[in-house]
Amino acid sequence: MRIFVHILLSLGAFVSSVLEATMSRKDNWEFYQDKQSNWRWRRRDSRQRILNASRHGFKAYSDCVDNARRNGFAEYIRTRA
């Protein structure tokens, strides 16, 4: 049992360090409205490549931001009209 707990703690530390390394780069989060006036988000890297994006549009801006938070968004960067 003790070894199992140690393995879980080590795995958790590894996953945490990988996530920190991934999120430490200067990614830009963009929130914008599509042609149907639904809110969407996308995450771009420093070379402007899209890394991740919302799978569908949201009627409410707050729902869009909540979805982005579930996908790693931590702070406001930029909004595109």
| Mean pLDDT across the chain | 80
User: Sign of dihedral through CA atoms 78, 31, 71, 47?
Assistant: negative
Tokens found for residue 58: 């949201």
Predicted local confidence at residue 26, as pLDDT = 79
What gap in Å lies between CA 66 and CA 17, rounded to an integer? 24
pLDDT above 90 (res 9): no
Predicted local confidence at residue 41, as pLDDT = 97
Half-sphere exposure of residue 54: CA atoms within 13 angstroms, side-chain side:
24
Query: Could you give the percent of the chain with pLDDT greater than 70?
Result: 60
What gap in Å lies between CA 81 and CA 66, rounded to an integer? 19
pLDDT above 60 (res 50): yes
What gap in Å lies between CA 19 and CA 41, rounded to an integer? 20
Higher pLDDT, 1 or 73: 73
Across the range 47-74, mean pLDDT stands at: 95
